Structure 1
Amino acid sequence: MAANETTATMIDMSLWQGRTDPEANSERWHQKIQPLSQTAMPGCALVGFESDAGVARNQGRTGAAKGPTALRKALAPLAWHRTGPAYDAGNIRCEGDALETAQQHLADHLSALLNADHFPIVVGGGHEVAYGSWLGLAQHLTNKGEKAPRIGIINFDAHFDLRDPSHVRSSGTPFAQIADECAQRGWPFRYACLGISRAANTRALFSRAAELGVMVREDRDFQPAQLESIRRDLERFMVRCDHLYLTIDLDVLPASEAPGVSAPAARGVSLSVIEPLIEAIRDSGKLRLADLAELNPDHDIDSRTARAAARLVFQLALDT
């Protein structure tokens, strides 16, 4: 294999292990998830994006390429509450620095899943996964003949990830890349970023967000008295969109809840606060695609971050 080759890995069902209870209606994820096949009926499809290239370019802590494996192990023993099927759709692996190729391969894979009416949930990998995820949705909607779809991007993140991609494309540039792509296509750019840390984003990034009309809510805004206002603002954002793409950078969580990320948050927004908003997005009827980024097992403690990520996937996959 060449040093910078990108590969689609085989589906490894051996990761799906856990306890088996004798009582009826006691199934867990490891007992119900199936390997994806071409004849599979529509369901939730889990895809791994094994990439450290964007984080390395962004001078962050590498190790997130191992995130998809850690997520599957943490999700496997969770109780099964879905009514529809769920599938393991394998991984896209980026070797070396072949980031752009990996993102395109991910996009092609996701477009095919969406064309087959699956609901993909992608697990990174660095937040460079976002550009590949959005591109996959864009390809799918283009194939359907939509001329200028209003795709709403909802990002739970401590960072805007709006850095100038003309210097280097990395885990810090995906939404700037998407904004540029939307401008070239003549599509509206609709972006909501929730959980922003003012201390971790420069004035230039806040200015760029304002220029692009980004809906911004800082981590310090997530106080009990303001949560209903944030929910209403989010609902107004979703009403103006035809389709939703949800992306969750796990560094939005406090370091105590998610230590295993590239840049742990000094403050962050608790999972208990974020979960109801994610459920509202899930239940909107417009969510087409979701991903989680920055799960880094090399720096996790007691699998806290992997467990938090697994719970988020569990919530996103609920269909009852």
Structure 2
Amino acid sequence: MIPLHQNPAPSLWTGRPAETIEYWHQAIITVNDLAFNESSDSKKIGILGYEGDEGVHRNGGRIGAALGPDAIRKVMGSTAYHLKKGTQILDYGTIQTENQEMESSHALISKSVSSLLRTKHFPVLFGGGHDLAYAHATGIFDYLKGKDEKLGIINLDAHFDLRPKVNNQGHSGSPFYQLSQEHSSHFHYFCLGIQRAANPSSLFETAKQTKATFIEMEEFQINKWDLIQEKILWFLDSVNKVYLSIDLDGFSSAYAPGVSAPSPLGFNPDLAFKIFDLIASSKKLISLDVVELNPTFDQDQATARLAARCTEYILRKVFG
């Protein structure tokens, strides 16, 4: 076994039995290593978990996000399956943070994401803390190196996650700041759902300095869809490829109680799913992650189910 890598557990993928493929658990292929295969010409989805709480701990959040990947898998297994025939879904297991060595797990995630893209997979990563975004995007930038492509990062989140490192260490609040510093001329970032109460003025100044685009929660409402749509379409038109990151703490805690930083004033699924439609229809989406699920504080698996529904819906729009 590769250090920090845990093979996938087929027992997590369970659901109602059926003679044909009707549920996700029937379509999943578990792979016991990270030697990604390019031999198949069929469309492939590569699932990778991130069992990491260290970034959340460093950022002062509620511990428990490391349990997120398996909780999403359990719910996904019983979800009805509607992807196009011939689509392969491969679960490559989970990368763990051991002994607070977050940077080591990040390096392996970045390498794995780059390899997934090179071998014609659509990466789907389940977190774990939002520090995952730094490792995830680093892998995408590595894959795009030398290519005439412009990557856009869209983040659904209550927070900018543009905080600087602490003691020269990254954390769950710093991923996009780190990316802005390391890829300053290629950093194109759009954050949806920003809450003033959760972001001090210094972060708005950082957003201005990094030329980040954002929509605040007061404007991020379904009754202002025309304006939201216009801004998203403008951003999509300005880039060639899109990486989508979904931080579950951006949703209202009425829908997502099981997160590291819950908020009653977040957005609702109706608006989020309209945005997923818009992004998927652009044909530019190349990678996805869902982060900050904290099963320790979830209620009746509501947040895990939301994470699974977001993932299933986006993949159905891309591969259906």
TM-score by structure 1 length?
A: 0.93
Q: 2:140 aligns with which of 119, 137, 150?
A: 137
Deviations 1:209-238 (A, max 9, x none): 112221111122123331111111101001
AA aligned to 1:7 is L
Instruction: Report the counterpart of residue 110 of structure 1 in structure 2.
Output: 113
Gaps of 5+ in 1: none
Instruction: Report the counterpart of residue 224 of structure 1 in structure 2.
Output: 222
Instruction: Report the counterpart of residue 125 of structure 1 in structure 2.
Output: 128
In 2, Cα distance between equivalents of 1:180 and 1:146: 20
AA aligned to 1:11 is P
Deviation larger for 132-141 or 209-218: 209-218
AA aligned to 1:17 is T
AA aligned to 2:208 is A
In 2, Cα distance between equivalents of 1:96 and 1:246: 29
Deviations 1:98-134 (A, max 9, x none): 1111111001111111001100110000000000100
Instruction: Report the counterpart of residue 12 of structure 1 in structure 2.
Output: 9
Instruction: Report the counterpart of residue 305 of structure 1 in structure 2.
Output: 303
Deviations 1:161-196 (A, max 9, x none): 00012643100000000000113xxx3211000001
Work out whether residues 53 and 96 of structure 1, in 8 Å CA contact, stay in contact via their aligned partners in 2.
no
Report SS of the residue matched to 2:79: coil
Tell me the number of residue pairs that the alignment of Structure 1 and Structure 2 aligns: 309
Deviations 1:128-167 (A, max 9, x none): 000010011011112xx226x4210000000000001264
Instruction: Report the counterpart of residue 261 of structure 2 in structure 1.
Output: 263
Gaps of 5+ in 2: none
In 1, Cα distance between equivalents of 2:90 and 2:230: 34
**Identity across matched positions, percent:** 37
TM-score by structure 2 length?
A: 0.93
Instruction: Report the counterpart of residue 204 of structure 1 in structure 2.
Output: 202
In 2, Cα distance between equivalents of 1:15 and 1:240: 40
In 2, Cα distance between equivalents of 1:14 and 1:74: 12
Report SS of the residue matched to 1:59: coil
Give the 4+ runs in structure 1 shifted more than 6 A.
Answer: none
In 2, Cα distance between equivalents of 1:54 and 1:204: 21
Report the Cα offset of residue 292 of structure 1. 0.7
In 2, Cα distance between equivalents of 1:262 and 1:6: 27
Quote the RMSD (CA, aligned, Å).
Answer: 1.7
Work out whether residues 46 and 122 of structure 1, in 8 Å CA contact, stay in contact via their aligned partners in 2.
yes
Report the Cα offset of residue 6 of structure 1. 5.6
